Amino acid sequence: MSRLVASDATRLNWQVGLDGILLALRAQLALADQRSPPDGEIEAYLSKVRGLETSGKELNRIHAEIVGGVELIAGDVLAGDGRYDAARDRWRAVAGRLQAQTAGDNYPVVTLVARAQLRLDDVAKARALAARVEASKYRHPAYAGLVNELAQAGGVGRTITRRN
């Protein structure tokens, strides 16, 4: 990745897209393994994105989704540290950043916003968004995670487990 960024550091695909995907995956793995997530790197990434946006760069739909995923994880990390107000700010940022994209059939974004709404204790909104995804053909591990989170919150009566 460092070679790609060095080849053209102005490319949002490298600065926002690839960097965000890599960071989100590293954070998810760390959380799953009960290790410390790269929270300093997450904050640096989100600060870099805010700087890009402030300078007038517009994120496309894909970049906005990637940043939203990092913001969701950042909120989870903050909540895990007991910093709930800051966590809620991150989750609100996800919903705000991606809300316009939930009108269509971008089910990865609908799933992401539903997960953020659930964390913000708006189970009704999360359930309504999940129902739209359920009615579609979209099936992804992120959707299974949403279903499980809703079940734990009393939102639905089933869970999805991975079969080996």
pLDDT in tens, 118-134: 999 999 999 999 999 99
- Helix H or strand E encompassing 40: helix 39-54
Residue 2 clears pLDDT 70, i.e. is over it: no
Residue 155 clears pLDDT 80, i.e. is over it: no
Q: Identify the pLDDT of residue 40.
A: 93
Provide the phi-psi class of 34: left if phi over 0, else alpha when psi is between -120 and 50, else beta.
Answer: left
**CA distances to 28, 136, 139 from 74, in Å:** 10, 28, 24
Rounded mean pLDDT, 137-160: 76
Radius of gyration of the chain (CA): 16
Q: What CA–CA distance (Å, rounded) separates 110 from 136?
A: 11
| Per-residue tokens: 91 | 């989750």
Residue 156 clears pLDDT 70, i.e. is over it: no
Rounded mean pLDDT, 64-78: 95
How does pLDDT run across 86-96, given as a tens digit for each residue?
999 999 999 99
Give the number of other CB atoms < 10 A from CB of residue 98: 24
Q: What CA–CA distance (Å, rounded) separates 115 from 154?
A: 14
Q: What CA–CA distance (Å, rounded) separates 70 from 112?
A: 11
Give the number of other CB atoms < 10 A from CB of residue 139: 12
Rounded mean pLDDT, 73-87: 93
Candidates 76, 100, 98; CA nearest to 89 is: 76
- Look up residue 144 and give its amino acid: A
Three-class DSSP category at 29:
helix
Q: Identify the pLDDT of residue 163.
A: 37
Handedness of CA 129, 134, 140, 146 (dihedral sign): positive
Model confidence at 5, pLDDT cuts 50, 70, 90, reads low
Among the ranges given (16-20, 112-116, 124-128), the one the predictor scored with the smallest mean pLDDT: 16-20
Please, what is the average pLDDT of the chain?
A: 87
